Amino acid sequence: MHNNLQKFQDYLLKEKNYSVHTALAYGKDLEFFQQFLDGNFDKTALEEVSYTLVRSWIVFMVDAGVSNSSVNRKMSSLKSFYKFLLKTKQIEVSPLSKHKALKTPKKVQIPFSEDELDNVLTHVVYKEGFDGVRDKLVIEMFYSTGIRRSELIGLQLKNVDLSGGQIKVLGKRQKERIVPLLPLMIDQLKLYLDERKVLKSIVDADFLFLLSNGNKLNETFVYRLINDYFSNVSEKVKRSPHMLRHTFATHMLNHGADLNSIKELLGHSSLASTQVYTHSSLTELKNVYQSAHPRNQK
């Protein structure tokens, strides 16, 4: 098993371009399953597992209070592992070939309103100097481009093209995409870059966004930044960078952008991922429908 686990993780990293974090998480899930097998089924090897044994693990986890979404994530790890064993011809049929994911409640995420965004970008008082200029630019960047938190943190100076009005973003699985910048973003970037030049020391010089000590941003800092500023203008419980990505997509839809364009801007590999944002646009869609359909004009 350990030999196959190492090969599987190498496959995820090198062939599937998964992050180290994801490959390790998949490995942990497989180790947990192996421990369950060792404790209950006389050390059955993962390569010899039947769906009955997988089902026993699912029942064990559910009884232990593991959430359906966590169980589904572990099953996703198993599915990938058995696909790898099929690909390398170590098994002929995956024990999960007919597995169906457990049902999970759909969480409807309420995006920020346009008024809330207007308030945070025009009425909130920002700190003086570098910190304030950076904070506002971070919020503007999330809302104007829809990029992920990890993409914003990893954005490099060389990939910001002010004259072309665009940025090159490195997304999931090392996929690059070009995202256009609004004219007001270009002005704010110039202002930020001027402030950035006068920092006393710059440690992570390649990165666009820095802390005042010259290091690049980290995930906790970015989360707190968004949460703190939006707590001034919003009562919503969820005030995260991802909520700004969600808001970007929803507001674009509300103003007539088509799903395919939003898919490209967000860096989604399939339209199904983008369609999650249509739910919060249903109210707007109904209003457009009522006012635009010929049968309602009579």
Complete domains list, the chain, with CATH: 2-87 (1.10.150), 114-289 (1.10.443.10)
End-to-end Cα distance, the chain: 70
Q: Which of 110-119, 204-213, 276-285 has the highest mean pLDDT?
A: 204-213
Please answer whether residues 120 and 233 qualify as being in contact, where contact means their C-beta atoms are separated by less than 8 angstroms: yes
| Residue 79 confidence (pLDDT) | 94
| Residue 206 confidence (pLDDT) | 97
Catalytic residue among 245, 246, 251, 263: 245
Say yes or no to pLDDT of 280 above 80.
Answer: no
Is residue 293 annotated as a catalytic residue, yes or no?
Answer: no
Beta strand segments in 67-224, E = 160-161, 166-170, 176-180
Is residue 268 annotated as a catalytic residue, yes or no?
Answer: yes
Q: What is the pLDDT of residues 121-172, one digit of tens each?
A: 999 999 999 999 999 999 999 999 999 999 999 999 999 999 999 999 998 8
Q: What is the pLDDT of residues 191-244, one digit of tens each?
A: 999 999 999 999 999 999 999 999 999 999 999 999 999 998 888 777 899 999
Mean pLDDT score of the chain? 88
Euclidean distance between CA atoms 179 and 199, whole angstroms: 28
Is residue 286 annotated as a catalytic residue, yes or no?
Answer: no
pTM tops 0.75? no
Secondary structure letter of residue 156 according to DSSP: B
Give me the count of residues in the chain: 298
Please answer whether residues 191 and 133 qualify as being in contact, where contact means their C-beta atoms are separated by less than 8 angstroms: yes
Is residue 143 annotated as a catalytic residue, yes or no?
Answer: no
Q: What is the pLDDT of residues 281-298, one digit of tens each?
A: 555 556 656 666 555 655
